[in-house]
Amino acid sequence: MLPHSGSLERIRTIIVADHDELGRRVAARVAEVIREKTAAGTRPVLGLATGSTPVGVYRELIRMHRDEGLSFAEVVTFNLDEYYPMDPGSMHSYHRFMWENLFSQLDIRRENIHIPRGDLPRAQADEECRRYEAAIREAGGVDLQLLGIGRTGHIGFNEPGSGLESRTRLITLDLVTRKDGAADFFGEENVPREAVTMGVATILEAREILILATGEHKAHIVRRAVEGEVDHEVAATFLQRHPCTTFYLDHAAGAYLTRVATPWVVGSVEWTTPLAVRAVTWLSRQTQKGILKLTQRDYAEHRLSSLVAAHGTPGALNGLVFNALGAKIRGRSKLARGRRILCFSPHPDDDVISMGGILRKLVENDNAITVAYMTSGNLAVFDHDVRRHLDFLERVAGERGIAERGVIQLAGRVEEFLAAKRPGDVDIEEVRDIKRMIRESEAVAGLRTLGLEEGAARFLDLPFYQTGKVRKDPIGPADVAIVRALLEEMAPHLIFVAGDLSDPHGTHRMCKEAIDGALEEIAAAGGDRPELWLYRGAWQEWSVTEATWLVPLSQEELRLKIQAIFKHQSQKDTAPFPGPDEREFWQRVEARNKGTAAELDKLGLAEYFAMEAYVVDRT
């Protein structure tokens, strides 16, 4: 854990190891407040948030209630917000979210639960907002408020322009917020345009505030909220005026804070070799000079004289960093040859998107390669693709007389369901199976493009993903057992795992959790641990300083990788879950891989056409 440090931070900020530790630490503070207030004979009043980040907190609170006797009998809760209009029974409703993820598993009294209503006629909305404010006052105010932060810097749904004096009200949602919600609603067009939210003034009246953020996609706005000036266009900056606010971050969300990204700017540091590489690379970017051209003056003007002193001369330091970065480059001749390799792909396209280049090189090096697709990815297939594939099947059956009756019956059941389907409805089994098979066939086509045969693909279809909803179940023993069985069967020398923390719905993180659990069980049983390389998915690449290995790609290799991505036709043109980057996956890959190579070129190293980056996990 990193404590609050550095004069640039205007909000107390704690960085923890990962999502799980964040959940445990925040839940511990919530439990402490509950016990303190209950012991004093007063009712604890909690302000609660929704979204993927607080789910870990709620799971830990449920565990504490079950295993440690933490009682919620006297707790009063007020939720931050709700979409409008929204039926409380809808799968998208925050009412339903809270009951499924927390309230139904506690001893809390129903009458003590307050959630803004999104199901009232518009004429009654203002009165309902005033009633909500009055209920908070009558409860004695909020003792502890949990918050998340949106990419616009919103807290609750207080979008850009929300004033410091704002109260609970109906608000129009920002375009960015609606884009971020598109995956939950199966399309941006289905996201409500309005929401009911506590106001900034309401939030700031809480006696203590804990704001949570995880993932790389939150890093920019976290830095803006913590280190930037107070700005009514970024509601989270108003928290700087609150006397008892704490930001809880995982390492990914805190990556752009000054004390993490450039700690030498805020104080003295211990100059390890990795930190020296980061600092010199940063200086090269700041001065727009190659590493070997950096001078004593460059170092002095950027407060890095102590780094030069630790290495004697600028020349010695420049050479050290230049050689350290150059040693990361691994062409085909330096890659594995004749070994058993297992690549874990969370979705059926992460393999070619993230490591299509190295997969081709490993094929050429005569390795025995298996690609394990951990989830079906069927949620990310549009209904129109199901109709298109069924139309093709009907045409084949009609012209060739192949089980024509069965095909017609299947098509009829599917079309009847799709015609009545509403956004967010869980697909029937036939539709889920067709979508799964579409993705499986695309995955095999992608592998064949890279020179692998159909037998190289293994489809694990882990249970945690099989909810039919965007929200998944927690990783359980069944998921770990499937992964462990494959590892024991294949006995790989080398495995590739998605280390991407920017996946909007956490599937990559959850898949890695299953793999880590399986590896731990194998190690506990005396088994050998394979070498583990982490790649990143469709959202972000490892930086040249973070990466352990940088794998160059020629123009032809990058083109082949993109052709493999093209085989995933259901994800092309418009992907159902694109994340914050609206470009197609192949466009992101091209820009990212070329960008990594260009970064090395700017630093003064050898010039390559494109590059993939990997981190070796040595834990």
**DSSP-derived secondary structure for 191-202:** S-SEEEE--HHH
Size of the chain, expressed as the number of residues it contains = 619
Is 317 in the same domain as 336? no
Supply the pLDDT for residue 470. Answer: 62
Is 372 in the same domain as 304? no
How would residue 286 be classed by pLDDT, with cut points 50, 70 and 90?
A: very high
Supply the pLDDT for residue 1. Answer: 43
Instruction: State which of 209, 235, 259 marks the end of a domain.
Output: 259
> What is each CA distance from 5 to 1, 214, 220, 265, in whole angstroms?
12, 19, 18, 12
165 classed as catalytic:
no
Residue 53 in this model has a pLDDT that exceeds 90: no
Residue 3 in this model has a pLDDT that exceeds 50: no
- Rounded to a whole number of angstroms, the distance between the first and last alpha carbons of the chain is 17
Q: Would you say residue 411 lies in a domain?
A: no
Residue 404 in this model has a pLDDT that exceeds 80: no
CA distance 551 to 535: 12
Is 488 in the same domain as 608? yes
SS3 611: strand
Q: Would you say residue 102 lies in a domain?
A: yes
> pTM for this structure?
0.85
Q: Would you say residue 387 lies in a domain?
A: no
Supply the pLDDT for residue 525. Answer: 96
Q: Which of 9, 82, 159, 557 is catalytic?
A: 159
Find the domain containing 586 and state its range.
Answer: 332-381+426-616
Phi/psi for 13 (5° steps) reads -130, 130
Q: What is the CATH number of the domain that holds 465?
A: 3.40.50.10320
Is 377 in the same domain as 249? no
Residue 504 in this model has a pLDDT that exceeds 60: no
Q: Would you say residue 413 lies in a domain?
A: no
| pLDDT (mean) for 578-594 | 84
How would residue 580 be classed by pLDDT, with cut points 50, 70 and 90?
A: low
E strand or H helix at 300, and its extent? helix 296-301
Is 230 in the same domain as 305? no
Note whether 248 and 25 are within 8 A (CB): yes
E strand or H helix at 381, and its extent? none
Is 291 in the same domain as 306? yes
CA distance 235 to 158: 6
State the average pLDDT for the chain. Answer: 92
More confident residue, 273 or 52: 273
- Residue 528's CB is within 10 A of a number of other CB atoms, namely 8
* E-strand stretches of 276-384: 340-345, 368-373
pLDDT tens digits, one per residue of 172-224: 999 888 887 877 777 778 899 999 999 999 999 999 999 999 988 899 999 99
What residue spans of 450-608 are helical by DSSP H?
Answer: 477-490, 507-524, 555-566, 585-602
How many structural domains comprise the chain? 3
Lowest mean pLDDT among 249-258, 278-287, 500-509: 500-509
What residue spans of 69-166 are helical by DSSP H?
Answer: 94-101, 122-138
DSSP assigned state of 308? H
Is 277 in the same domain as 252? no
DSSP assigned state of 257? S
Note whether 15 and 246 are within 8 A (CB): no
CB contact set of 121 (below 8 Å; sequence gap of 6+): none
Supply the pLDDT for residue 618. Answer: 86
Q: Would you say residue 78 lies in a domain?
A: yes
Task: List the one residue out of 465, 456, 450 whose CA is nearest residue 514.
Answer: 465
Q: Would you say residue 286 lies in a domain?
A: yes
Is 135 in the same domain as 276? no
| pLDDT (mean) for 550-555 | 98
Supply the pLDDT for residue 407. Answer: 87
Q: Would you say residue 180 lies in a domain?
A: yes
CA distance 106 to 66: 8
Q: Would you say residue 399 lies in a domain?
A: no
* E-strand stretches of 4-75: 12-16, 45-48
How would residue 13 be classed by pLDDT, with cut points 50, 70 and 90?
A: very high
Supply the pLDDT for residue 474. Answer: 85
Q: Is the dihedral of CA 171, 176, 181, 187 positive or negative?
A: positive
Is 322 in the same domain as 342? no
Is 166 in the same domain as 43? yes
pLDDT tens digits, one per residue of 324-354: 999 999 999 999 999 999 999 999 999 999 9
Interhelix angle 350-364/429-449, rounded to 10 degrees, is: 30
Is 22 in the same domain as 111? yes
Is 46 in the same domain as 143? yes
Q: What is the CATH number of the domain that holds 170?
A: 3.40.50.1360
Note whether 512 and 547 are within 8 A (CB): no
How would residue 52 be classed by pLDDT, with cut points 50, 70 and 90?
A: confident
